Structure 1
Amino acid sequence: MTQKAIDILKVRWPEVVLVVGLHVAMALLIEDVVAATEGMDARSATPPFWATFLLGMGMILCGILWQMLYLGFLKTAAASGGQLKQPMQLLRSGRPYFWRILLFQMLLGFAVMLLNAVFLNVLGGLIWQGRPIEDLPVWFAQICALAGMLIVLKPMLLVPACVIVYDLSAFAAFGQMRFYRLGQIDGIFKAIAIGFGVIGLSVLPSVLLGTEGQRRYLSSGLYSVATSLVLLILAMMAVLWIQQEFNASAAKASEELRE
């Protein structure tokens, strides 16, 4: 299943660049906004309301666009494999699933943030005693985020796959997920180990070069690219396997009807 997913990604590399690139750009933009906000003090000039509003709306629209492209890519990969698609086709394919999965994705994101906060507080407190959370190294925060994603990886992969293949709501797909185990997906644990290892290695620039000034774009960019690409490959493996299971069940039901 790993090779099948990689083969599709190779053939459809322009779409992969679009999906991953948009995600990375969005992540860097959010970091810039957060850094600028943290750098403000009481004497700083407050941006006008219209500028703040437009920036916020732009970030929301960018997130919606990326999620639709992402879901559309998974849907078309499950349905037509390595057949190239145009961005508008991805948007049309992903739009119905975006609204179904939005609340679940928000809850999942909140769970990852909560786990990240727990790791930062507990492990950060043990390793850097007395240091405020905001002063902890960026690379440590990235590793904590990675650990949080690893804990919720099963619903992160299987719920969108079930939504896309079985045409369910997100919470119905969450119930459907109990019938599957990640280990049933051929090669998934090896892919997870290698993929998360690659993400872990992408933290090295933050450790070696630091995150001051323009170097932050290199360290954060590499981490975002690695994370986005690895999760896309894993999601591809999940949706292809769920589609395979769906096709097998449909074929079996068809044979039983003929008998």
Structure 2
Amino acid sequence: MTTSLITGATSGLGAAFARRLAADGHRLVLVARDEERLARAAADLLTRYNTAAEVLPADLADDDGIASVEARLRDPDRPVHVLVNNAGFGNGGGFLDVPVAQELRMLKVHCEAVLRLTSAAVPAMRERRRGFVINVASVAAFMSRGTYGASKAWVVSFTEGVAQELAGSGVRFLALCPGFVRTEFHARAGMDASKVPSWAWLNANKVVATALRDLARDRTVSVPDPRYKLAVALTRHLPTSLYAAASTRTGRRYDPKF
């Protein structure tokens, strides 16, 4: 049976991945900071899908937290076949309004944890010639969006790089780059998303379905929804100053996230 480990698994896209993979018959390892929420999520998956989910409380902004997930990924007696690096957060306010310590915490979760967990999971996957790594990024990766966008641009570049290096190994990689998805992300960051138009919001379950479909098609970058595909295409052709100015007006309050 396939085992999938999902970080940030108790809400948003992480919970949507858990539901979809449980429905597909995967065993699950759920990673998040809140042990009580993890227990509730595991109980819900057992009720809905008759899937027993292992819970692993860990804060990926902390070295010990990352190390505990690394150890689980390296456990030869309990192999993990699918890794979903979904954990992440945003900071409300402009660059000079956010403490540097909080920005560094973001980089640890978005970049260092993704690097270390991928590095822990892939050797065994390559040996088995079977495995998938999904790294959740954002359309902000293609725009000038401060530390958040820069960290997600790193995720996309990293994913593309390892996918190219390990092509033909049996291990596949996907950087998932959604726009606005209805989750707890904005409220947790203290961001006012009330001005985001209704048409801009994506459904988490549909985003996950698109990601898995693109992974099956051997794509390395997935941008769900034609509207966001168009937005990404425009950013690649328009002068940076145009969308950077728009980004400055809206600020981090409207950073998209899964």
TM band (smaller chain): under 0.3
Which structure has more RCO (C-alpha within 8 Å, separation ≥ 6)? 1
Q: Could you say which structure has the larger radius of gyration? A: 1
Choose between structure 1 and 2: higher strand proportion. Answer: 2
